[in-house]
Every structure is written in structure tokens, then in C-alpha cells.
Amino acid sequence: MKFFIDTANLADIREAYDLGVLDGVTTNPSLMAKEGISGDEKVRAHYKAICDIVDDKVSAEVISTDYEGMVKEGKELAKIDDKIVVKIPMIKDGLKALKYFQSEGIRTNCTLIFSAGQALLAAKAGASYVSPFIGRLDDISFDGMELIAQIVHIYGNYGFETEVLAASVRHSMHLLKCAEVGADVVTCPLKVITSLLNHPLTDSGLATFLADHAKAAGK
């Protein structure tokens, strides 16, 4: 399973990368705004700064919602760095854009997936990744994990190369359940990744080892 971090915060990205487990980054206009990044020039410079930290796979989202606009904007984003994956919304013109970018050899991430039908269309159109949103489905009393499992199953039936990128992952149980059902990627905040480090028996065991070492050393 690949671990992506869902943020535009450079410090968090560096920390996740330094852990040695980071495979990529996802961003969106909301995350950019959270970091106070606005204006095309500053946004693109920020994407480049992210690319300079990580090895590959930085999802950069288009703002346009029409085919021509998405193609123009996506091509500009792809020029920033070879690590860029163009993020396209799950809409009719988005499907057309996915097909275009596939023909041009530009990787894509189809975002705002909330049904298996949408994921099937995105895979047929040639998306590199699909991003089903677990947490947002949970918010409306639908089991987001059920959707992840359904998409993984469908893709397995037909050998689609599109990778399932579980998004809106809010806690460690989301992440672990994604691993259990076979999601290819999870994207989440840094705190979800680092939460996997925690276990009370690890803490108590280490404290015991250190105490015993100190006692044997006469400290």
C-alpha cells in the first residue's frame, strides 16, 4: 500500500517524507487556501516546492469545470514537474479530460468519487487513480469502507490498471481497513500516519527496558 499525505503544508510533507514511508502528496484548492496560498503564480510555485521535497506523485487539482479549461489548465500543471498528477473532478467533461490526458501520457487522479459507478467510468476513461471519499460518506451515514471494497472488487474483476486511492481518511482504523480490503493508496493527514506508531505496550515495554538498563548500570 502506498501512503500519500493530504496537505499543502510543507513542514508536514517534509516530516512525512523523513519518516521514510511517504509515496506521494494530494492537494486541493481548500488545502492551498488553508496555507494562505492564492493566485496562479503562487499556487504553481507551491506545487513546485512540494515536488522538490518528495520523490513522485503530487496531485495538483484543476479549477476549471469545462473540457477545454481542464485540458488547458492540466497541461500547464503537468509542465511544473514530471512528478505532477493532474487531479480531475468526476463530471462529464472530466471523463473527456481523463481520456485526453491518458492519450498524452499525463497521469490523472479522478477526485470526488462517491459511487462504484463513478469509479467504473473513471477507470474506463483511463484515470491513473480514483479518489473515493470515505469520511464524507460516513458523514451521511453511508459506510465509506464498503465503497472502497466494492471498487477494489470491480477493478479486480476486469484487471483495470487504475489505482484505488482512498481519500478523506480520518483516523488509523480507516487506514487499516483500507489495507485489509486492498486499496492501492491511502491519502490522509500526517497525524493519521503517525498514529500508527502508538501502542501503550510499546511505551511501557520501552520504559521497562530503559529502567532495567539504568539499574544494571548502577544509575
Tell me if 90 sits within 8 A of 112, measured CB to CB. Answer: yes
Distance CA 67, CA 93 (A): 5
> In terms of DSSP H, where are the helices of 54-171?
67-78, 92-103, 116-125, 134-139, 144-158
First to last CA, the chain: 44
Distance CA 130, CA 85 (A): 12
Best CA proximity match to 31, nearest among 13, 54, 52 = 13
3-state DSSP assignment of residue 112: strand
- Find the helix or strand (DSSP H, E) in which 132 lies: strand 129-132
Catalytic residue among 57, 79, 83, 87: 87
Determine whether 87 is an active site residue: yes
Distance CA 168, CA 23 (A): 17
Catalytic residues: 87
